[in-house]
Amino acid sequence: MFFHIQKIIPCITRYLLQEKIDKADSLSRQIANKAYDFIQKHVGPKEIQEYIDKNTGGLGYRNKLVGADWERVVALGCYIAWAEAVSNKDTVLEIGTGLGRTNYCLQYSGAKQIITIDIDPYIVGIALNNNPYEAFQHALNNRSITKIILGDANILTNILLRIGYYFTHIVHDGGPNPRKNPRIFSNSFLFKLHVLLRKNGRISVFAGKDPRIVSRIYKFFKDLGYETYTFNPPGLNIKIVRGIKSS
């Protein structure tokens, strides 16, 4: 796939710096829609499914049955989102929009606002226009709650820090394998999430299977004074690190 957005991303970051979240969201959606138009013209259904599988890790469905296993997919999304802790007072930052499974769970739990960041316009374009899970598509298109910001999470979190945009709940679902995306699972990136989280706020990080990565993320938040624990979704060999920021 050869659709590039590098020349447009500075416009998104400029809107974000100006605290024009709605404009950043609108432009991000336009880019994602153009990326989807490109996919429709150049990529077949099989390749789209393979792209989803590769970039989302299968979302929790079995045997590459994208669009199937609804209950399993939603359950995993809600575990990662820590959805049961969310209320209608929460402003949420989500790292990794994907097809929108965690966004769906956050909305279902009543989140007040969700800022969701993703670097991949293709996945977001598919999620908005031809999502194999219709409910996820509907939730992502609820623009009164969900604001999509396309771009590098490292850069965008720097901007959020600069403008003082803080959150009561953070979900980090930045890829199916943290080892393949080390920049946004580094301690320096996690520290930015720590600063963006309000006191008494909650953070949930998909930490994957590698016990070394799980232990490092757990220790990182524990050392910062968080009430920290790991959660193992039933039937899956993965870990989610959850923490509550001390007051």
pLDDT range class, residue 47, cuts 50, 70, 90: confident
Please tell me the number of Cα atoms within 13 Å of 126 on its side-chain side: 27
Q: Is residue 66 predicted with pLDDT exceeding 80?
A: no
Spatial CA neighbour of 149 closest among 121, 118, 177, 187: 118
Q: Which amino acid is at 128?
A: L
CA–CA dist 147, 91 (Å, integer): 11
- The conformation of residue 237, written as its DSSP 8-state character, comes to S
- Average pLDDT, whole number, for the chain? 91
Which residues touch 149 (CB under 8 Å, ≥6 apart)? 12, 16, 24, 25, 28, 115, 116, 117, 156
- What local confidence, expressed as pLDDT, does residue 51 receive? 84
- What local confidence, expressed as pLDDT, does residue 43 receive? 84
Class of domain 9-244: alpha beta
Which residues touch 63 (CB under 8 Å, ≥6 apart)? none
Q: Which amino acid is at 193?
A: L
Q: Name the strand (E) or helix (H) holding 16.
A: helix 9-17
pLDDT tens digits for 182-224? 999 999 999 999 999 999 999 999 999 999 999 999 999 999 9
Q: How many CB atoms are closer than 10 A to CB 88?
A: 8
Q: Is residue 56 predicted with pLDDT exceeding 80?
A: no
Q: At what angle do helices 21-42 and 121-129 cross, to 10 degrees?
A: 90
CA–CA dist 177, 113 (Å, integer): 27
- What local confidence, expressed as pLDDT, does residue 2 receive? 46
- What local confidence, expressed as pLDDT, does residue 62 receive? 46
Residue in the structure block whose two tokens are 């670097």: 119
CB 206 within 8 A of CB 94: no
Q: Average pLDDT, stretch 85-109? A: 97
Q: Name the strand (E) or helix (H) holding 97.
A: none
CA angle (176, 182, 184) in 5-degree steps: 85
pLDDT range class, residue 87, cuts 50, 70, 90: very high
CB 115 within 8 A of CB 103: no
Lowest mean pLDDT among 2-6, 44-48, 85-89, 182-186: 2-6
Q: Average pLDDT, stretch 4-23? A: 84
